[in-house]
Amino acid sequence: MTTSCPTLLLSAPASNQGKTLVSAALARAWRNQGLTVQAFKCGPDFLDPMILQAATGRPVYNIDLAMCGADDIATRLYWAAQQADVILVEGVMGLYDGNPSSADIATRFQLPVALTIDASGMAQTFGALASGLFVHQPGLIPAGVIANRTGSAGHGELLRTSLTPDIPWLGALQRQETLALPERHLGLFRADEIDDLEQRIAQAAALLAESGPLPLPPATTFLPVPANDVPKLLAGRTIAIARDEAFCFIYPANLDCLHALGANTVFFSPLHDRVLPTGIDAIWLPGGYPELHIATLGGNHAMRVALQQAWQQGLPILAECGGMMAVADNINQQPGFGLLPGDCSMQPRFQGLGVQFAELPEGRLHAHTFHYSRFETTLPAYAQTSTQRGKPGEAIYRHGSLTASYLHFYFPSNPAAIARLFTS
């Protein structure tokens, strides 16, 4: 049975236009109207979804044609249309940037598109830019434009009148330092690091709703996807998952996948806990920011011993990106947990970026990589991924029961392979 729901994909001409703040403001404005808002993020990003979760009060899922696949996206949108009053999708980079792009997702699933444009230093060109972005791909459904970082109410009115009649005006956010979201080398700060995030989102939402309740976007019809039952390959097994300030890059879909496989999950902090949870069968060290907590990590000798004992006992351990950095011998010449021979060092430019595909004995997995550190080791690579262009990608290391790489695996791409990683 088909289902429909008001849906909006918010994009922009480029990165750094304020998509995340505007998306959060839209979500909160609709939530303030008593609506249930389900947000998604185009691309493999971890940080923007944290902001959107703060705005909506609901987990935010990633949709990416390369990493997740069309069937996974269709399943999640169909589910959302049954659960929510409005679906909001934040795009990635500019509307047509990337392959696949946000525009590709919009046309594939017939999602109405709104633009947010940084209008600082811009007047009537605002309308021309908006028109050009919409007509570049005729299959797009224009749903409106929001002007960001305007100079005054008069500036906003000038921008509004520059639009052609077929492009709705959705409002403006004036430039204010209190609305800007802080950033670091991997992107925005984590939501829980921004002390006044709630005030920023609330203020931005109030500005968008100044003229009255925000109208809902056009409804999109979603088709059901045949159920793909996941066998309970991890039934009765408990997986300990690192989660704290240093280990925070966890796709909600990955947790859902583990639970669908029948696993029990428990969380622990490699930074602050001295022991691992009891009765566990495997360990997952996801990515995050170990480089920002080197002293605390290196000083937790009890956790170092606990992890090494678990590894010596043969517990399967998956270490992804920041997780791999943490289990290396050293990070920036300071001690890590010492499970993986080799040293990590931060570099001034990113060292890996993009969706990649891993062919392992356990099965094929889709993944994403984005890191500024470099790992040097004499340990031979167990496997090597391929990029979307078919070029060699990241190395994957297998050291005893430890599987480690710079990859962030997308578990739903092959639940059976994930189950084997946590049992082999």
- Please determine whether the domains at 3-222 and 238-421 fall in the same fold group of CATH: yes
| Residue 328 confidence (pLDDT) above 90 | yes
Across 36-50, 224-238, 365-379, least confident range: 224-238
Pick the closest to residue 181 from 100, 296, 90, 259 (CA basis). 90
pLDDT reported for residue 352: 85
Domains of the chain by residue range: 3-222, 238-421
Q: Any catalytic annotation for residue 257?
A: no
pLDDT reported for residue 209: 84
pLDDT reported for residue 339: 97
Across 126-135, 203-212, 393-402, 406-415, least confident range: 203-212
- Cα(48)–Cα(27) distance, integer angstroms: 13
Given 42, 68, 257, 321, which residue is catalytic? 321
Query: Do the Cβ atoms of 65 and 23 come closer than 8 Å?
Result: no
pLDDT reported for residue 178: 66
Q: What is the pLDDT of residues 183-197, one digit of tens each?
A: 766 667 777 777 788
- Cα(250)–Cα(267) distance, integer angstroms: 12
Pick the closest to residue 230 from 266, 198, 263 (CA basis). 263
Q: What is the pLDDT of residues 125-181, one digit of tens each?
A: 999 999 999 999 989 999 999 999 998 999 999 999 999 999 999 999 988 776 677
Q: What is the pLDDT of residues 68-114, one digit of tens each?
A: 999 999 999 999 999 999 999 999 999 999 989 999 999 999 999 99
Other C-beta atoms closer than 10 Å to the C-beta of 203 total: 16
- Residue 205's contacts (CB-CB under 8 Å, 6 or more residues apart) are 24, 25, 26, 28, 29, 32, 55
- Length, in residues, of the chain: 424
pLDDT reported for residue 303: 98
pLDDT category, 263, cuts 50, 70, 90? very high
pLDDT reported for residue 184: 62
- Cα(11)–Cα(213) distance, integer angstroms: 22
Pick the closest to residue 326 from 284, 356, 359 (CA basis). 284
Percent of the chain residues topping a pLDDT of 90: 85
CATH number of 238-421: 3.40.50.880
pLDDT category, 281, cuts 50, 70, 90? very high
pLDDT reported for residue 378: 95
pLDDT category, 422, cuts 50, 70, 90? very high
- Torsion of Cα atoms, 115 then 103 then 165 then 127, to 10°: 50
Mean pLDDT of 243-254: 97
- Cα(122)–Cα(44) distance, integer angstroms: 31
DSSP letter string over 145-177?
Answer: EEEEEESSHHHHHHHHHTS-TTS-EEEEEE--G
* Span 3-222 CATH architecture: 3-Layer(aba) Sandwich (3.40)
Percent of the chain residues topping a pLDDT of 70: 98
Mean pLDDT of 239-253: 97
Alpha helices in 215-316 (DSSP H): 252-260, 294-299, 301-312
pLDDT reported for residue 187: 67
- Measured in whole angstroms, how far is the alpha carbon of residue 112 from the centre of its chain? 21
Q: What SS3 state is found at 422?
A: coil
